[in-house]
Amino acid sequence: MTTTFIPRNLAELQTPAPLVDAALLAGNLALMAEAWPGPRLRPHVKAHKCTELARHQRDVGHPGFTCATIREVEGMVAAGLGQDLLLANEVLDTTRLGALVAAGARVTAAVDSAFTVEAAARGGVREVLIDVNVGLPRCGCSPADAGGLAELARAAGLEVRGVMGYEGHTMMVKDRADRARQVADSMALLEQAHAAVGGPIRSAGGTGSWDLNVSATELQAGSYALMDTDYASLGLPFGPALSILATVISVNQGGWAVADCGLKALGMDHGNPSLSDGSAVWFCSDEHIVFSPPEGGSLPSVGDRVRVLPAHVDPTMAYHERLYLVSDDRVQEAWPVDLRGW
């Protein structure tokens, strides 16, 4: 990692550079904190991988966080944000987590099998949630097995704080009524499991179910803070706080232009990004985005700046070393994206 002078002016930033609009970020955090105040929201740091951003989430009232990797847990503890961390994922190598717990951090791990229960106990993790499959074919035990697994965990000396179940398969259901029904079906499964497990926590949900999930005791939303074009297609009231600043490096009179934001600056699993000015994106290469102007528009000039809106925020952030908090043309702060890796 090179030491980098951080310019105060957007025009001087080297590109590609992830920009976070300070006002949109603050608005997104405030809106979610109003709906899910304090510990009712457990923001998922996988969406931004940035402890400075997490600090802003804590400052609007959320004491606990959700993590997807051991590195995220370690980084949050190192940043002084280890008051109540949930690793919402199964892990077998729990020694790094146990070391954090021994040093005073509060770390709760998800378990969905006898293997992961045994790993948690062996590694020194003291608290767990029973991870329940609520419809997404991924991790999680069947609701019918949750009670038995909780017994197993308690017999191994673990504190069972409750259940979690991510209704990820419902997040992108475009029709709101359909989405609501599917969320409710998933939460009925989680409630069934919870009745057998006990404990105060029923952790679930995400940005796509933020105003539909009426069952979760805590919501695990992450994308709401920065957003992406995929979530924007649902018509949620969170603003597109994240864009990637890029420089036009080549213009072809055949009708296209090229800017320096490519596959290595963008999560591509949800397809091509968009340009904020409505240009048509043709394709991305490793370090290029090729586009043509919007209907009736003219080609940009070499040196012009464009803003690229990612289709999927999480794997986008994982490519960048730092993000820039901006207000109009001013760079307010540079924040390390310090939770990358594993």
- Do the beta carbons of residue 210 and residue 35 sit within 8 Å? yes
Work out whether 40 is an interface residue with a second copy (CB under 8 A).
no
- Annotate each residue in 133-172 with x if it binds a second copy (CB under 8 A) or - if it does not, as one string: x---xxxx---------------------------x----
Q: Three-state SS for 131?
A: strand
Taking CB under 8 A as the criterion, the residue among 19, 105, 187, 258 binding a second copy is 258
Closest approach, Cβ 67 to a second copy, in A, equals 10
Taking CB under 8 A as the criterion, the residue among 21, 90, 228, 230 binding a second copy is 90
Closest approach, Cβ 290 to a second copy, in A, equals 6
- Do the beta carbons of residue 137 and residue 177 sit within 8 Å? no
Q: Which residue's CB is nearer to a second copy, number 161 or number 320?
A: 320
State the CB neighbour count (10 A cutoff) for residue 232: 15
Work out whether 302 is an interface residue with a second copy (CB under 8 A).
yes
Q: Which residue's CB is nearer to a second copy, number 104 or number 254?
A: 254
What DSSP assignment string belongs to 46-107? GGT--HHHHHHHHHTT---EEESSHHHHHHHHHTT--SSEEE-S--S--HHHHHHHHTT--E
CA atoms within 13 A on the CB side of 242: 31
Q: Distance between CA 20 and CA 261 in Å, rounded? A: 16
For 336, counting Cβ atoms within 10 Å of its Cβ (0-12 exposed, 13-18 middle, 19+ buried), the class is middle
Work out whether 268 is an interface residue with a second copy (CB under 8 A).
yes
Work out whether 247 is an interface residue with a second copy (CB under 8 A).
yes
- Interface region with a second copy, contact rule CB under 8 A, candidates 52-60, 100-108, 112-120, 183-191: 112-120
Q: Which residue's CB is nearer to a second copy, number 166 or number 210?
A: 166
Work out whether 327 is an interface residue with a second copy (CB under 8 A).
no
Taking CB under 8 A as the criterion, the residue among 69, 182, 215, 220 binding a second copy is 69
Taking CB under 8 A as the criterion, the residue among 77, 91, 309, 325 binding a second copy is 91
Work out whether 204 is an interface residue with a second copy (CB under 8 A).
no
- Do the beta carbons of residue 258 and residue 270 sit within 8 Å? no
CA atoms within 13 A on the CB side of 341: 6
Work out whether 334 is an interface residue with a second copy (CB under 8 A).
no
Q: Which residue's CB is nearer to a second copy, number 8 or number 138?
A: 138
Q: Distance between CA 53 and CA 70 in Å, rounded? A: 18
- Interface region with a second copy, contact rule CB under 8 A, candidates 63-71, 183-191, 235-243, 326-334: 63-71
**Which amino acid is it at 133?**
N
Q: How far is CA 215 from the centre of its chain?
A: 21
Work out whether 186 is an interface residue with a second copy (CB under 8 A).
no
Q: Distance between CA 303 and CA 273 in Å, rounded? A: 20
Dihedral sign, Cα of residue 161, residue 221, residue 331, residue 73: positive
Closest approach, Cβ 41 to a second copy, in A, equals 19
What DSSP assignment string belongs to 249-269? EEEETTTEEEES--GGGS--T
- Interface region with a second copy, contact rule CB under 8 A, candidates 33-41, 187-195, 208-216, 243-251: 243-251
Q: Distance between CA 339 and CA 5 in Å, rounded? A: 21
Work out whether 249 is an interface residue with a second copy (CB under 8 A).
yes
Residues in contact with a second copy by the rule CB under 8 A = 1-2, 14-16, 46, 68-69, 71, 74, 89-93, 112-113, 115-116, 133, 137-140, 168, 247, 249-252, 254, 256, 258, 260, 263-264, 267-269, 282, 284-288, 290, 302-303, 312, 314-315, 318-321, 341-342
